[in-house]
Structure formats: C-alpha cells, structure tokens
Amino acid sequence: MLVLRALPALAALLVGLPAAAAPEAAAVFPIELAEPGTIGPRPLRPEDMRRLGLASDALRREVTSRGLAPVDLAPQAAAIRRDAPLYKCEGCAEKIAKAAGAVLVVYGYVQRNAPQVLNLTISITEAESGKVLRGGQVLIQGDTDDTWLHGVRSLVKNRLFAEPLPNRS
C-alpha cells in the first residue's frame, strides 16, 4: 500500500530530471602508418597491417567508452582510399566525416622513426569547421602489439579525454 502512494511522487521526480544527452556522432578513422624517408606508397608489412588494425580497434573502443558514437564509414570507403593518408590531406577527413553524418572526427597515425621507436599522434576535430578540439602524441618504445595498444590507451586517457571536450560537457 505504501508503494502505491509513493508512485505519484516518484513519477513527479522522474519527470523533472533532464534527459540523458545522446552521444555525439564521431567518425573514427583507422590509424595510418607514416614512414619518413620512403618515397611513394609502399606495401605494409603484415605485422604493421595487423598492429594498425589492433590500434584502430582499440581507438574505436576507447572513444566509444568515453561517450562518443562512431558512425559507419563503410559507405565512404572509396573517398577514404582516394584521399589517404588522411593526416596530411588538409580537411578531407572532415568532409568525409560530414558526409557520414558525424559531428566529430578522430584520426591519427603512427610514424616510424627507427625500428623500435614510433610516435603515435591522434587528433579530434569538429567536422563542420575543422577546428582541432584535442590532439596528442605519445612515444612508443618497442614495436609489439602490447606497446602499440598501450600507446593508444595512454594517449586517449591522458591527452584526448583527460578533461571533457570543449563545449561538450
């Protein structure tokens, strides 16, 4: 009986609560490999291709766990191939992201400086303006699955999402 009397009060409280904000749509592009000193496109080594896939999957999971909703980029595959590498195409990632319905753009690359020394760089930009909201770089020492994954998690945690994204808290 007490429960029945409490229901109207509980309903009144729930109506006054603000609705949870929907996650923002983000185009999370695969991480690319940059190898300074190579001229022209070079086929990826199988271990690099696999590690880029692992790192890209980890980035997608990390971004999703922090409240962004990755959009499906499959319909944009031809544009992504055409404009790659996205980290140096100056605005094409944002155009592709807008076409996919994203508000934010997440992309990055691994730069091999030496056989066991790599830099991972990731940026988050606004699809509409291209404005960089966050970016960061981390040094990866050791060319293993674990070091690549640790680099992604560390960069996301300590640089990209250490604080709420500007104007999105």
Q: Where are the domains of the chain?
A: 24-160
Q: What is the pLDDT of residues 3-61, one digit of tens each?
A: 344 334 333 333 443 444 668 999 999 999 987 766 656 778 899 999 999 999 999 99
In angstroms, the first-to-last Cα distance of the chain is 42
Instruction: Please give the model's pTM, rounded to 2 decimal places.
Output: 0.82
pLDDT in tens, 68-83: 999 999 999 999 999 9
Q: Has domain 24-160 been given CATH number 3.40.50.10070?
A: yes
- Residue 34 contacts residue 109 (beta carbons within 8 Å): yes
112 has which bridge partners?
A: 118
Q: Are strands 117-126 and 104-114 parallel, antiparallel or unpaired?
A: antiparallel
Give the Å distances, CA to CA, from 41 to 10, 44, 93: 63, 9, 19
Measured in degrees and rounded to the nearest 5, phi and psi for residue 84 equal -60, 145
The two three-digit tokens of residue 14, written as one number: 């729930």
151 exposure class (CB count in 10 Å sphere: 0-12, 13-18, 19+):
buried
What's the pLDDT tens digit per position in 102-154? 999 999 999 988 888 899 999 999 999 999 999 999 999 999 999 999 999 99
Angle at 149 between CA 141 and CA 139, to 5 degrees: 30
